[in-house]
Chains A and B, each alone.
Chain A
Amino acid sequence: MDTAHINPLENEAIYIFREVAAQFERPVLLFSGGKDSITLVRLAQKAFWPAKIPFPLMHIDTGHNFPETIEFRDRLVKELGLELIVRNVQDSIDQGKVKEESGRYSSRNSLQTTTLLDAIEEFKFDACIGGARRDEEKARAKERIFSVRDDFGQWDEKNQRPELFDMLNGQIELGQNVRVFPISNWTELDVWSYIEKENIEIPSIYFAHKRKVFLRDGLIWSHSDYVYQEEDEEVLERMVRFRTVGDMSCTAAVFSEAKDIASVVQEIRESTISERGARIDDKRSEAAMEKRKQQGYF
């Protein structure tokens, strides 16, 4: 092994995972079934081998996920012998804690916050590991690797701890928790290249497939019971793939013929539309992400 051939981003992520295991009592890895959280699982495996990953995964399920993602999630957890916790947005709705949105741009994405905060309290998690990257969105660019949240899950962007050298300060008070971002410094292309190099299996919807879709605002939406659609919005059948997977109502597809990882990487390399361009909820407002983050969104 020599310095010229190691991947500094991978080594940094492994270091961060080990800091989490050492500094916190009840960490959890927030798992969405998307490529970023699948990459996190691989990095965590590497960090602790030959021991098992010393914390559970948790999925905040909107109930509107792509079925492919859920199947994939359950298989991965079984194969790796991991513990999975699932908490449902539907339950928060049924308990009257949040109200389902309606209309053209309705989505359950922002409702996840309440379910997540409740779960953190239920399990007394002190560190929640997530796959957010600083290159995704401008407001994320300032996110720390260890980001302290108060009792209400809120992020105070003006009062963040400085992070110097490799040193991560995870000291918190009871009731506070830390959001941890091991792949902060990765770009979308870094993640895809890593998936290719490591031969990591990802859900099929990341590859080109035939799907019933409709077009709105220059984005490609899935035709599904979960997605609001006007009568005059015509259903088409097209070859598409997804660049991110979240709630069906807020994840747009791209036209693509890339059926394997190598062609996906190639397409990403050549692409000039940022990944977040395919997130419908961000289009609603430029400052959308920042607002949601202050309220405790992941």
Chain B
Amino acid sequence: MEVLKIATAGSVDDGKSTLIGRILYDTKSLTTDKLEAIEKTSKKNGYDYLDFSLATDGLVAEREQGITIDVAHIYFSTANKSYIIADTPGHVEYTRNMVTGASTSQAAIILIDARKGVIEQTNRHFFINNLLRIKDVVVAINKMDLVDYSEERYNEIKADFEQLMDKREYRDQKITFIPVSALKGDNVVNISERTPWYSGTTLLEHFETLDRKDIFNVGTPRFPVQYVIRPKTDAHHDFRGFAGKVYGGELSVGDEVVALPSQTRSKIKDIYFHDKKYQTAARRSSVTITLEDEINLSRGDMLVKVNDLPTIEKRFTATVSWMDSQQLTVGNKYIIQHGVNKVLAKIDKVHHKIEPDYSGVDTEVDSLGMNDIAEVSFQLNKPIYYDKFKDHRTNGSFILIDPNSNSTVGAGFIS
């Protein structure tokens, strides 16, 4: 079973909701009652076409304001894959929402209005998708119907976007351009006859043919201990299982492992998924591991292979995406949640604020506001066992929790 999560990015009115609605409609994922509701409301609003954007717009407050506010999830499936679309909106809280949506996605769609071409917002969308190291990005050039399906216009926009690509840091990102009309349905699910000059796939076909290796970065296995299972029953008297999810690579029975922070060595004895034993634990599987030796591990500890140690440090620098209305200021203390491990952290230094638009403007600051992105140095009360974000998406990222409000106030990507 394959699940592909796709983040979407576009400015207000570029046609994001229409595109998602179109995908649902053409894959026959809209149920009769939803379709009826769309027809009814479209008619009520006096439209002479079906307003597919109604398929995705959620909360009452939003309907009143006519905008989408937060990250919404939309589900559909083909015979081949299950899809989750993380729809993020295009206004002020955008950076925060987009970082959030992108963090759990393996692919992304960046929408461009063919009449407007690459605009400042496009730079931001691309910057964030690249920062979050999303492996597969589709640039959907929308509203092709309004530019007479012009190949020239398409090539112009493509060339503009390619200039941005030269500036990107994460080079392995695969980028595909597709000319579409969300409203008319060209090249979304069905190939269009109005773009005979375009020889690529439709948007959906593109995702259908993505392979696992195209979307996941394989690295070194990391096993953060989530929970210790000690049943203390007659049948399992001495059972001490370490429950957790495997990230980055596989683990197998017999692997020599080191427990962190104690640095104790042991070997993997058994790997359980529910009541069955397996020889290997797959990447992203939630398993229970037992060890050859009696080692005391608790939540937040980590098992790694002996030759693949992460960095064990109390200080590091990270790119921080700030998500709270209360400012981040030098000297402030936060809780860092790194996977399932929590430590206390102090802000040592804010190096500079990064404008997420490739303008190259870096401003010296010592505090950060909502939606700011900056390089920040941290000092911790205990070491954590991390990899750089570029080497390990899971073990290189963390969230910041405000100890007073308990809110999640930011996210960090270790440099």
Contacts and interface: CB of A to CB of B under 8 A. Distances in A.
A177 to B, nearest CB: 13
B149 to A, nearest CB: 32
B299 interface: yes
Interface in A130-170: 134-135, 138-139, 141-142, 157-158, 160-167, 169
A49 B272 contact: yes
A47 interface: yes
Contacts of A106: none
A173 B405 CA distance: 9
B58 A50 contact: no
A15 B286 contact: yes
A190 B394 contact: no
Interface in A44-63: 45-52
A96 B364 CA distance: 62
A286 B37 contact: yes
A243 to B, nearest CB: 12
B235 interface: yes
Given A1-B285, A161-B408, A166 B245 contact: yes
Interface string B267-306: 0000111110011111111111000000000010000000
Contacts of A103: none
Given A167-B399, A287-B60, A19 B31 contact: no
Contact of A290 (B59, B75, B273, B323): B59
A135 B401 contact: no
Interface string B1-45: 111000000000000000000000000100111100100000000
A262 interface: no
A172 B235 CA distance: 37
A22 B233 contact: no
Interface in B322-372: 323, 335, 337, 339-340
Interface string A178-215: 00000011010110000000000000000000000000
A50 B77 contact: no
Contacts of B209: none
A273 B32 CA distance: 5
A220 to B, nearest CB: 15
B414 interface: no
B242 to A, nearest CB: 11
Contacts of B75: 134-135, 185, 187
B301 to A, nearest CB: 12
Interface stretch (A6-14, A71-79, A118-126, A223-231): A6-14
A2 interface: yes
Interface residues of B, number: 79
Contacts of A82: none
Contacts of A187: 75, 77, 82
A272 interface: yes
Nearest to B41: A286
Given A138-B58, A165-B397, A185-B84, A51 B285 contact: no
B408 A22 contact: no
A162 B243 contact: no
Interface in B241-256: 241, 243-245, 250
B138 interface: no
Interface in B96-139: 96-97, 99-100, 103-104
18 contacts: A2-B250, A3-B216, A3-B283, A9-B1, A50-B236, A50-B275, A51-B229, A139-B59, A139-B60, A142-B72, A163-B104, A163-B408, A167-B397, A167-B399, A185-B75, A187-B82, A273-B33, A287-B60
